[in-house]
Amino acid sequence: MSRVISHVVIGISGGIAAYKVCEVVSSLAKRGIEVRVILTEAASAFVTPLTFATLSRHPAYTDADFWQPTNGRPLHIELAEWADLILLAPVTANTLAKLAYGMADNLLLNTVIAADCPVLFAPAMNTTMWLQPTVQENWRKLLAFPRYGAIAPTAGILACDAVGTGRMAEPETILEYIESWLWTNGRQDLKGKTVLVNAGGTREFIDPVRFIGNPSTGKQGIAIAKAAIHRGAKLILVKAGSLEIQSDLQLQTISVDSAREMQEAMQIAMPIADIAIAAAAIGDVRTTWQSDRKLPKSELPLHWQMEYIPDIIANLAQQKQSAQILVGFAAQTGSESEIIAAALDKLQRKGLDAIAANAVNHAETGFGTDTNQAIFLHKDGKQQQTPLCSKLELAHRLFDFLAS
């Protein structure tokens, strides 16, 4: 999303979830994305056009503007050709049905049908309405078209006090989808593929309350998982430590603590993976014994007998088939030449297809940051350096690198 100034049209239909879109519009405008907002007549009853005009720094459009020419051309054609991406949020059952059957009786629907850019849908409605067979059939019909993408509703307490699926995705999730789809232009190049990712930091417990660990937060691994999902992949995530996962992520999750548990989970999942990306920070050593009770301070040894932890990714490389792709991460310190040298050594010594090396001793690329910068290296000698960017963008750059 950082490559060029992008144009996003946001269409809002009549539902209480329209208030969530205010944050989406505001966030995009602050990031330098140009936004145009279209409201249906029903949507204007929930949030006023003036609110969205203020947040987007541009007049918001309603059906009253439908036949007002822009530069001598119909407004819906101008908006359709201007947009790099269209987001519909919230999508009501009414709007969903009209789009599924190609109906166009307002400015919003005409703009979507006149456009050829990617379109993202974020439905929101009562659970019983969402689960109606006719609504589900319309949903499936829409998503059969390659340029249409789903930001599926989540479960929770709805505005009508019902509990179930139907809540529109949260603004953070919608913004991530927008970032991904602007980057890929809606390309679903991982559809039909299974991607295996590990994330977080392993912990080797000494007793029930003490462990040897590392400061990995798992943010980069989660970003890779999200990028894979946004590109159409089936995702298996092996998460280590206390890493929390968004409830709206459509993935299979396996939770582990220790390196031994991580190794077992990865070895079980590896045979069905087309791409395996090891982004977790795995410990290197552990104590040779662990206590099953909390040790008093006076019983803690000052000198521990340690043992090396088996190299998980090297073992996966021994297990992988020729059609599979195995990617490692190298969290390094030092100069660029030192980082590249260490990463190349790991790439060759461990038998990987590619590796991403990043410096963790910089304020904007260390553990827990929202940004990252890396050097990708492939076993065929190709190298690519990324600029400082969001971890989600870096994940997309990695998938692009692997595809190239």
365 versus 210: the higher-pLDDT residue is: 210
To the question of whether residue 391 is assigned a binding role by annotation, the answer is: no
Q: Cα(158)–Cα(176) distance, rounded to whole angstroms?
A: 23
CA dist list (Å): 376 to 88, 230, 290, 333, 401: 35, 21, 38, 16, 8
- Kindly state the average pLDDT of the residues 169-183: 96
Q: Cα(404)–Cα(393) distance, rounded to whole angstroms?
A: 16
Per-residue pLDDT at 68: 79
Q: Residue 70 pLDDT > 90, yes or no?
A: no
- Kindly state the average pLDDT of the residues 386-397: 97
Per-residue pLDDT at 1: 44
7-184 CATH: 3.40.50.1950
User: What is the CATH topology of the domain spanning 194-403?
Assistant: Rossmann fold (3.40.50)
- Give the domain ranges of the chain: 7-184, 194-403
- The percentage of the chain sitting over the pLDDT mark of 70, rounded to a whole number, equals 99
Q: Residue 2 pLDDT > 50, yes or no?
A: no
Q: Residue 26 pLDDT > 70, yes or no?
A: yes
Burial class (CB in 10 A: 0-12, 13-18, 19+), 203: buried
pLDDT tens track for 187-204:
999 999 999 999 999 999
Q: Cα(135)–Cα(385) distance, rounded to whole angstroms?
A: 46
To the question of whether residue 345 is assigned a binding role by annotation, the answer is: no
So which residues are the catalytic ones? 160
Q: Residue 54 pLDDT > 70, yes or no?
A: yes
- Kindly state the average pLDDT of the residues 333-350: 94
Q: Give the residue carrying structure tokens 């992008």.
A: 6
Per-residue pLDDT at 4: 67
Q: Residue 122 pLDDT > 90, yes or no?
A: yes
To the question of whether residue 215 is assigned a binding role by annotation, the answer is: no
Instruction: Count Cβ neighbours within 10 Å for each residue of 13-25 and write b for 16 or more, e otherwise.
Output: bbbebbebbbebb
pLDDT tens track for 274-313:
999 999 999 999 999 999 999 999 999 999 999 999 999 9
Per-residue pLDDT at 247: 67
67-71, 88-92, 128-132, 136-140: the lowest-pLDDT one:
67-71
Same fold, 7-184 and 194-403: yes
Q: Residue 3 pLDDT > 80, yes or no?
A: no
To the question of whether residue 219 is assigned a binding role by annotation, the answer is: no
To the question of whether residue 69 is assigned a binding role by annotation, the answer is: no
CA angle 229, 354, 375 (to 5 degrees): 90
- Kindly state the average pLDDT of the residues 374-386: 96
Q: Residue 342 pLDDT > 50, yes or no?
A: yes
Residue 249's pLDDT band, with cuts at 50, 70 and 90, is confident
To the question of whether residue 297 is assigned a binding role by annotation, the answer is: no
To the question of whether residue 313 is assigned a binding role by annotation, the answer is: yes
pLDDT tens track for 77-120:
999 999 999 999 999 999 999 999 999 999 999 999 999 999 99
pLDDT tens track for 160-170:
888 889 899 99
Residue 246's pLDDT band, with cuts at 50, 70 and 90, is confident
**Average pLDDT, rounded, for the chain:** 94
Residue of 116, 91, 119, 126 whose CA lies nearest to 20: 91
